[in-house]
A and B are shown apart, each in its own frame.
Chain A
Amino acid sequence: MSESDRFEPLIIGFTCNWCSYRAADLAGTSRMKYPPNVRLIRLMCSGRLDPTFVLKALAGGADGVLITGCHPGECHYLEQNYKALRRYHLLRMLLTQLGVEPERVKLVWASAAEGARFAEEVGRMVEEVRRLGPLNWPAVAADGGETVAVQTPNGGHAHEGEPLIAIPAEQEVTP
C-alpha cells in the first residue's frame, strides 16, 4: 500500500495544563517528530475530563481518544488525576461493551519534562489505531452496526467537512 492511501486515524487528545500539555510543548520546541494525527485539546486538569467528551469525540467520527495527565501523586490539584484514572478504567469497560476496542482510548501520564515520552506514546497510539482501522461511528449509529464487519483498512473516510456531532438519519432496513 502506498503512503498516500494509508488510513490516517483521527485522534482527539486531551492534555492537562500543568504537565502533559507542557510535555507536548516541550516535544514541539525540542523539534521532536511525531505523527500529526492527534488534535490536542487543553484542559486545566485530567480530572476535568468528563467522559462525555470522549463519547462525543467518538460519536462525531474520531478513531481514538488520548487522555493525558500528570503522573499519579503529581497532580496540580492534588488528586484529580486519580479520578481521571478511575473514570478511564470504568469508561474502558463501558466502551468494550459498546463494541469499541479498548485500544482506541488510551491514558498516558507525562510530566512537563517528558516531551520525548509524549511524542513516543502518540506515535505508538497512532500505529495501534491505524492497525484497528476506521471507527466511523456515525455509520454505526446510522445503520445499526450491521455492516461494520466490512471495514476498509485504508483511508476510506474523509473527516474534512463533516460536522463534529452530526449523526445521519437511519436508513430503513427490512429484515
Chain B
Amino acid sequence: MSTNGAKPKLAMYWAASCGGCEIATLNIGEQLLTVDQVFDLAFFPCIADFKVSDVEGYPDGSIDLCLFNGAIRSSENEHMAHLLRRKSKILVAFGSCAYEGCIPALANLTSRQAILRAVYLENPSLDNPAGILPQTTTEVPEGELTLPAFYPTVKALDQVVDVDYYVPGCPPESEQIWAVLRAVVAALTEGAALPPKGSVVGAGQTAVCDECPLARHEKRIARFYRPYEIVPKPGLCLLEQGLVCLGPATLSGCGALCPQVGMGCRGCYGPLPGVIDQGARMLTAIASVIDVSGKPGDPEEALAQRVEEAVSTLVDPAGTFYYFSMAHSLLRRARVQDDGQGERHHETDHH
C-alpha cells in the first residue's frame, strides 16, 4: 500500500460513554496492523497519551477521520465535540451514544436535580453530611477550580455539531467497524467514493428479524414477561413467547446476536431507514400483535379494560422502547416536575 508522504490522521474520542466502543474497535484484531499502516494516530485517549492541547494545536481539518463515541452529557463533552468537528474532515457519530443517546440518555427520563440528589446526597454508601454538590467553580487557597457543567438533557452528537456519518451499535460489531474503516481506507488510498453524507454505515438495511434464525409464526401475545420470569423455548421467536424483542423496529447488521441466546433485542442498532422515532415504531409493532380483540356489540368499557390489563404487563414502556434512542426520539426527554430539593442543597453550599 503506498502512503506517499504524511499518512492520513485518525482520531477516536470518548464523551459520555463506557469505553465499549474502543474495545470493539481494538477487537478488529490483526486488521489493526493495516490501520496502523494507513493512518497516523492524532488523538486516541484510550490507547495513547495525547492531550487536548495537542488537538487544539492542530490546524483545522487536519484530522482525516474522527470516530466520536459517547453522548453529550456535559459542557466538556460539547466542547470536545466542537473542537473535534473543527479539526476533522470526516466526523463519525460512532456507536449508539453518539448516534442517538444510548444508555446515558435514559437520564432524560428524570431531572438533573434528581440525578445529583441520588448520586451525591441519597446514595446509601455516601458520607456527605454537609450535602456538598459539585460546582462549576470553587475557590480554594491555591486559586479557582473548575468543573464542566452537567447538562439537564443528554444529547446526541448531531444535536450539537454537524455529523458526516453514523455507525450504530452498542457497541458496533467489530466486523462492521472494519468494513467502515476499509471503506475510508479505500477512499483515502485509491480514491474510492464515500457514501453520501449523513449515511448510517456499518449496518444492514432491513430489520434484525431478517437476520434472526429463530422460527417465526403469526404472533398473538396475551401478556408480556420480563426476562427473569420465564425460560424461553429454544429456537422460537422471543416476541411470540411474550418476551419483548425490539427486532422488528431495529436496523440489522449485528447478526441478531442477542435473540439467538434468549435475550430479546434491545434496539441498539437504531431505527430502520425512514423511521423518525424508533420507540413509536416498536410500540406500533407490539400493540398490533397483542391478543385482545372483540366482536360487534361487546361492551366498550370491558374491552378497554382487557386491553389495559394486557398492555400493563409490559413494564416500563419508555425505558424499553427508547432503551438506546431517547435523545433522538421526537420528545427527547420526559417532562419532570421537580421538587427543587437538589437546588436547595445547592444554594446552602454557597451561604
Enumerate chain A interface residues (CB-CB to B < 8 A). 50-52, 55-56, 58-59, 71-74, 79, 82-83, 85-87, 89-91, 93-94, 97-100, 109, 137, 140-141, 143-146, 148-149, 167, 170, 172-175
Q: Does B32 contact A (CB under 8 A)?
A: no
Q: Which residues of B contact A172 (CB under 8 A)?
A: 75, 78, 149, 151
Closest to A143 in B: B152
Looking at the assembled complex, report how far the CB atom of B144 sits from the nearest CB atom of chain A, in whole angstroms.
14
**Are A175 and B295 closer than 8 Å at their CB atoms?**
no
Contact with A along B261-278 (1 / 0, CB 8 A): 000000000000000110
Partner of A98, one of B109, B293, B294, B303: B109
Partner of A145, one of B149, B152, B155, B276: B152
Closest to B300 in A: A72
Q: Which residues of B contact A90 (CB under 8 A)?
A: 283, 286-287, 311, 314, 317
Q: Does B87 contact A (CB under 8 A)?
A: no
Bound-complex Cα distance A90 to B287 (A): 7
Q: Does B150 contact A (CB under 8 A)?
A: yes
Report the contact-size class of chain B (Cβ under 8 Å from the partner).
Answer: 35 or more
Contact with A along B151-180 (1 / 0, CB 8 A): 111010001000000000000000000000
Q: Does B329 contact A (CB under 8 A)?
A: yes
Interface segment, B225-233, B235-243, B332-340?
Answer: B332-340
Partner of B112, one of A56, A99, A144: A144
Looking at the assembled complex, report how far the CB atom of A167 sits from the nearest CB atom of chain B, in whole angstroms.
7
**Are A109 and B133 closer than 8 Å at their CB atoms?**
no
**Are B303 and A85 closer than 8 Å at their CB atoms?**
yes
Those of B130-162 within 8 Å (CB) of chain A: 133-136, 149-153, 155, 159
**Are B332 and A167 closer than 8 Å at their CB atoms?**
yes
Partner of A175, one of B112, B303, B316: B112
Q: Does B318 contact A (CB under 8 A)?
A: yes
Q: Does B260 contact A (CB under 8 A)?
A: no
Q: Which 10 interchain pairs have the tightest Cβ spacing?
A: A144-B152, A73-B296, A99-B335, A97-B318, A86-B287, A87-B287, A55-B330, A51-B280, A52-B280, A174-B149
Q: Which residues of B contact A175 (CB under 8 A)?
A: 112, 116, 133-136, 149-150, 346
Bound-complex Cα distance A71 to B109 (A): 35
**Are B116 and A87 closer than 8 Å at their CB atoms?**
no
Looking at the assembled complex, report how far the CB atom of B221 sits from the nearest CB atom of chain A, in whole angstroms.
10
Most interface-central of B116, B152, B276, B300 (chain A CB within 10 A):
B152
**Are A93 and B284 closer than 8 Å at their CB atoms?**
no
Contact with A along B287-306 (1 / 0, CB 8 A): 11010111111101001100
Looking at the assembled complex, report how far the CB atom of B116 sits from the nearest CB atom of chain A, in whole angstroms.
7
Looking at the assembled complex, report how far the CB atom of A42 sits from the nearest CB atom of chain B, in whole angstroms.
20
Q: A73-B298, A141-B153, A175-B112 are in contact. Are A99 and B136 (CB under 8 A)?
A: no
Q: Which residues of B contact A148 (CB under 8 A)?
A: 335-337
